[in-house]
Structures are given as structure tokens and as C-alpha cells.
Structure 1
Amino acid sequence: MGTELFDLEGKVAVVTGGGRGIGVMIARGLLEAGAAKVYLASRKTAELEAAAEQLRPLGAVETVTADLSSSTGVEVLASHLAGQEEALHLLFNNAGATWGAPLEEFPESAWDKVYSVNVKGVFLLTRALLPLLRAASTPEDPARVINTGSIDGLRPPVRGMNNFSYTASKSAVHMLTRHLAAEFAPDVLVNAIAPGLFESKMTSGLLAGGAESIGAHLPLGRIGRPEDIAGLSVFLSARASAYITGAVIPVDGGVSTLH
């Protein structure tokens, strides 16, 4: 027992939503823990290439441009991976979308867009990559699917957030995680992380008043740091978590404990 419990040597990973924010935090953590290769997927090629340039000094990184809100985009990514790899150890379903509008003005399209990316895309991609994941699994160290949920799917956000489809979609991700965990056991483990407040494009409006001052109001006195996401991501990817499936783990500085 020791550091080998957290060693990702030889593992191949896919991180969707990998062009920025939490996706980059995840990918960096995997590479620093020894992952053999990380595929970054997103619909924005320029962001992907910028992220890959930043990460390549740490290890092998490839990019795939794909819109994972549709079966067509899922097929683009799945076909590329099947042509490159015989097995896939880690799938991080991290691509996400949000929408904010007052209740009276909240459009139907906001439900379609957000659910297509946050829920349908997670299901379709996981199903498409299941043969590669099963090919990587061993009884001692199964392949992993790790979904990005949110504390907004664990507790209602503060009044006035107006991100109705986002909160509902993340709650759905948490239940889908549990459902798939039961379906895939013991071959593939399925867990979710539920991030709180981290610096990203999605939270830029929330942090406009200053990350330090806003973080001071949280139970642990700060917003999340990249290593907080990386640490949990590596744990859920490594042999250290080989007896965990169907879990939704908050990484939120204690916010989910508040009423």
C-alpha cells in the first residue's frame, strides 16, 4: 500500500469539456499522476488547442472537436477513439451548458440545449464507449466513468439564480450516475463529482465581485482551487477507489452542508 494506489501509469483517459475550466483541471491532474494519454474533447477547436498546448509538457495530449449534444457528435468522438485505442480506462463526462433567465422569460430552448449536453450527451457517450471501457477493466482495477454534476443538483441555489434547467439537469446527472453504476457493475465503476464554486467561464458572473471576497463567505473560507478538482479526479481514477461506485461526491468547501 502507498503511492501506487494513486498511480495512473498506463491509463488512457477522455475528458469532455476539456478546453477550459474544470476540464483542464481534471486533465492536468491525470497527467501529473502519470496517465499515459489524455484526449480532450469539445466543440471549440481553438480552446482545445490552447488547452493542449498548455498541458503537453506534462504528457501525451490529443484533441477531438465534437459537439456532444447530439448523436452525430458522439459518433465523431467514439469513432475517433475506436480508431486510435483498443481500450479506454477513464471517461470524464465533463461537458456542460447552462442558461439563465427570469422565470417568466425562461425559454423552452434553454431546456433542450442544457439537457442535450448535460444529460443526453452523458448517456449517449458513455454507451458508445462502453466496449472500450470494458476492454480496459480488470477485477482489481475496473475502468471508470466520472460525471461532473454540481452542488446545484444537491441543494437549491440561492433565490434569484434563475438557472432552472441547469439545476434540474445536474440532479438528473446524479441519478443517471447511480443508475449506470448499478447497470455496469462490476465491470465499470461510475461516480460523479459535484463541484461548488471554481473559477471558470461559467462562474465568471458569480465571481465578478472578486473570488477572495466571495470565497470568504463559504464554510472553508475560499473558492475551489484547481488542485481540489485534480485530487478528487485522480482518486476516483486510481486503484484507491476500486471499491466505490454510484457515489456523488461534493467538492464545494462545505457549501452543500448549508441550509
Structure 2
Amino acid sequence: MKPSDLFDLSGKVALVTGGSSGIGHMAAEGLVAAGARVLIASRKADACEAVAAELNAKGYPGSAEGFGGDVATEEGIAALVSEVNKRTDKLHILMNNAGRTWGAPIGEHPYEAWDKLLRLNVTGMFHLTQSLLPLLKAASTADDPARVVNVGSVMGDIPKGTRTYSYAVSKGAVHHMTRVLSNDLAHQGITVNAIAPGPFVSKMTAFAIGTEEGQKKSAEGVPLGRVGRPEDIAGALQYLCGRGGAYLSGAILPLSGGMQSNAPGSLFNEEL
């Protein structure tokens, strides 16, 4: 195998949920750039179609298709699975990216908001993956397993999410679900990994880092001194989904500039 083949996704079919914006959009572009045929789904079909047209106009070796799909309900998952089955008989890559967040002070976090968020971020992710297992198994080979990539968060590992109680807990659940699914699916030829992003500019984070000033302030809490960039997501997906990542399963890949292992201060106050 040539080194250039390690991240080549030519001939592979991928589904990216929530792929019309933010991290999903970054991932979809990375997959298309590596040669994959990428199905982009979210609740806003027109936004998915627009992103697909944008990516197809860039001259990448892969292609994109956009359509509507809702992972927040049992009926929505069934409809999305049906649509995917109409478009392909094999699914090499599933990126579970669809999600939402909520912020409220302790003592004021609504019961219904917590329930609504976990229904999408955790329950929907599991049941979509379960429903797509036949297509994933059909795509798997002994040397090149099918891939599931879940989107977690740095807040699923460390208590950094001010007021985002339900979101942080949901992402912790995503990380453990990733390990559990890896344990159960690896012998079926399906790897399951997760990415745990730190601060990336998106609609979800626009309230905090949508401006240059906000990004600069957020970067002060990142050991590498900056917020995430689209190529950080694209490169991670190309690795996880290419031949170079075929032997990795059950991992939570920290895309947070070192935040996961950052422990300010020193136990013995020594100089570094």
C-alpha cells in the first residue's frame, strides 16, 4: 500500500447527520475531499442541499447529496433509514453528528429541555446506529471495516461547560456508548470511535466564539492557544475513516488543543 492510500476514501459511502453546518459541515467536506460519496442529512433539507451543491462545486474527487432527516424521534429515524436505503445498499461510514445544546443556571434548568436534548444526543444516536447496522455490515471487509464516528465533546470528559448540564452529561454518555458499541461491534467488522472537540466556530457556539474577540478569549483556555479549525475536523475524519485508521476502535479522539489533559498549576510548584 502506498502512503497516499492511507486516507483515500474513494468508492466509500458516508452519512453525516447534522451535516449542514458546524462540525458536520467540516467533516462532510473532509470526506468529500478524500473521495467519498457523502449523504448529508439534517432537519433542514434545503440547507443540506445547499451544502451539497457548494461541496460539489469545489472540484473534489468525491460527491455530496443533501436531504432532510430528523434523528430526534423514532419516526424520524425510520424515515431517514428508509431514505438512506433508497440511495445505497452499503454504508461504509456513519458520522453521528446531529445534536443540540442548552444552557441555564443551576436551579433553572428545565426538565423538558433536559429530556429533549438527551433524546437527540444520546437516544437518537444509538437507535440510528442500530438501524443502519445492516448497511454497515454490508460495507465491511476483513481488512477495511465499516466505521462509526460519534461526536462527543471535551465537556464530556472535563467539567468545563458552564450552565450546559444536560449537554455535558449527554456527551459523557456518548463517549461511553462509543466504548460499549465498539466492544459489541468490532467482531462484526465495524469500528466505533468518537471525536471530542473543544471550541470550534459553529452556529451552536456562535454566542461565545462567533466573533474574533470571543475566539481570542476562548483560546486563552486552550493549551495550544487557538480555537479549532475546519482542517482539524477534516483531518481527523480522513484518518478515522481511511485505511490508516482501520485498527482503531473504542477511542475518544481529543480535538481540543490539549484541554483534555490540561491541569493548571503544579503539585510541587516546580518551574517548567
Indicate whether the TM-score tops 0.5.
yes
Aligned residue pairs: how many?
256
Corresponding residue number in structure 2 for 1:255: 259
State the shift of 1:60 in Å: 2.0
Pick from 182, 200, 203: which aligns with 2:202?
A: 200
State the shift of 1:86 in Å: 1.1
State the shift of 1:105 in Å: 1.0
- Distance in 2 (alpha carbons) for counterparts of 1:145 and 1:122: 11
**AA matched with 1:257:** S
Identity of matched residues, %: 49
- Distance in 2 (alpha carbons) for counterparts of 1:120 and 1:55: 30
Q: 1:67 is paired with a residue of what secondary structure? A: coil
**AA matched with 1:72:** E
- Distance in 2 (alpha carbons) for counterparts of 1:116 and 1:91: 19
Q: 1:104 is paired with a residue of what secondary structure? A: coil
Corresponding residue number in structure 1 for 2:226: 222
Corresponding residue number in structure 1 for 2:71: 68
TM norm structure 2: 0.91
State the shift of 1:213 in Å: 4.2
Are residue 156 (structure 1) and residue 149 (structure 2) matched? no
- Distance in 2 (alpha carbons) for counterparts of 1:210 and 1:181: 37
Q: Could you say which structure has the larger radius of gyration?
A: 2
State the shift of 1:216 in Å: 4.3
Q: 1:185 is paired with a residue of what secondary structure? A: helix
- Distance in 1 (alpha carbons) for counterparts of 2:260 and 2:63: 36
The question of whether the paired residues in 2 share the 8 Å contact of 1:64 and 1:77 is answered with: no
Q: 1:103 is paired with a residue of what secondary structure? A: coil
- Distance in 1 (alpha carbons) for counterparts of 2:45 and 2:140: 31
Pick from 184, 190, 193: which aligns with 1:191?
A: 193
Q: 2:248 is paired with a residue of what secondary structure? A: coil
Pick from 223, 240, 246: which aligns with 1:242?
A: 246
- Distance in 2 (alpha carbons) for counterparts of 1:211 and 1:21: 15
Pick from 67, 72, 83: which aligns with 1:80?
A: 83
State the shift of 1:7 in Å: 0.8
Are residue 126 (structure 1) and residue 129 (structure 2) matched? yes
Corresponding residue number in structure 2 for 1:8: 9
State the shift of 1:44 in Å: 1.3
**AA matched with 1:74:** I
The question of whether the paired residues in 2 share the 8 Å contact of 1:39 and 1:63 is answered with: yes
The question of whether the paired residues in 1 share the 8 Å contact of 2:19 and 2:25 is answered with: yes
Corresponding residue number in structure 2 for 1:46: 46
Superposed CA deviations along residues 191-224 of structure 1, whole A, max 9, x for unmatched, are 0000001000111122143323432442111111
Structure 2 unpaired stretches of 5+: 264-272
Pick which of 171-180 and 64-73 moved more. 64-73
**AA matched with 1:21:** G
Are residue 92 (structure 1) and residue 95 (structure 2) matched? yes
Superposed CA deviations along residues 80-128 of structure 1, whole A, max 9, x for unmatched, are 1112211100000000111001111110111111101110011110011
- Distance in 2 (alpha carbons) for counterparts of 1:143 and 1:23: 19
TM norm structure 1: 0.95
**AA matched with 1:188:** I
Pick which of 48-57 and 25-34 moved more. 48-57
The question of whether the paired residues in 2 share the 8 Å contact of 1:228 and 1:251 is answered with: yes
Q: Could you list the structure 1 runs, at least 4 aligned residues long, displaced by more than 6 angstroms after superposition.
A: none
**AA matched with 2:225:** G
Superposed CA deviations along residues 175-201 of structure 1, whole A, max 9, x for unmatched, are 100111111112100000000010001
Structure 1 unpaired stretches of 5+: none
Are residue 31 (structure 1) and residue 32 (structure 2) matched? yes
Pick which of 140-149 and 182-191 moved more. 182-191
State the shift of 1:66 in Å: 1.6
